Structure 1
């Protein structure tokens, strides 16, 4: 099985954000590879495994919504800029994603241009490097 092309990668990422916004966690989980790696270099946070990435989204505090502003795909890789709306605030997020041959996310790296301290997390699956 070959790696996804740019059009397929775009469809997967658009579905990722649509399912996350709709809180359709069972369908969202199908997009995640078991060995998915998630990282936020800015805050030193990381999570290992698709189940941990799902839990991060499922337990994110507040009434949030991600609005895709830009999505650039090249084969199995994508860069996505979102407006993250939560509790009356809007933050810009930039995510780098990689898909495997089964069209599942294997890597997600988030960057937030504005400096911030991460909010309290409701999951122990998201850890922080010293």
Structure 2
């Protein structure tokens, strides 16, 4: 299973960088759960996750710097480059039935998320605030 998980995550970034969105979407479970704890953003569908990538602003590229797989889970560290700007990203992937079912992204540098062009992205209220 780790080899299959590794191949799936490598393919995820290969297709994302190449902007092959139809093939990219085939890697995703329809009920994929995506979460960014730092910004409180989340998506609850594979379609929404694919749309987030396809509408991300700028000419970006992700380069894997480390990938550790254990069964159906993977930790992937990337350098995410948009133009001259670079950010380190840490993604936790869970795979079920040969598809990516859950992704949690951590961004060590503080930031406010960019405006989104997808209605699938939602944002949780800050901790301690009235919902």
TM-score, normalized by length of structure 1? 0.95
* CA deviations over 1:25-73 (Å, ceiling 9, x no partner): 0100010000100000000000010000000000000000000000000
Tell me the secondary structure at the aligned position of residue 91 of structure 2.
Answer: strand
Poorly superposed stretches of 4+, deviation over 3 Å: none
**Matched residue SS, 2:108:** coil
Gaps of 5+ in 2: 126-131
Aligned counterparts of 1:50 and 1:121: Cα–Cα separation in 2: 16
The SS at the match of 1:51 is helix
RMSD: 0.5
Q: Name the residue aligned to 2:104.
A: 109
Equivalent in the alignment of 2:129: none
Aligned to 1:14: 10
Note the alpha carbon deviations across 1:69-124, whole angstroms, 9 max, x for none.
000000010000000000211100000000002x1000000000001100111111
- Matched position secondary structure for 1:85: strand
- Distance in 2 (CA, whole Å) between partners of 1:94 and 1:69 is 10
Q: Does residue 41 of the first structure (1) align with residue 37 of the second (2)?
A: yes
Structure 1's unaligned 5+ residue stretches are none
What is aligned with 2:123? 128
Whether 1:76 and 2:77 are equivalent positions in the alignment is no
How many residue pairs end up in the alignment?
A: 125
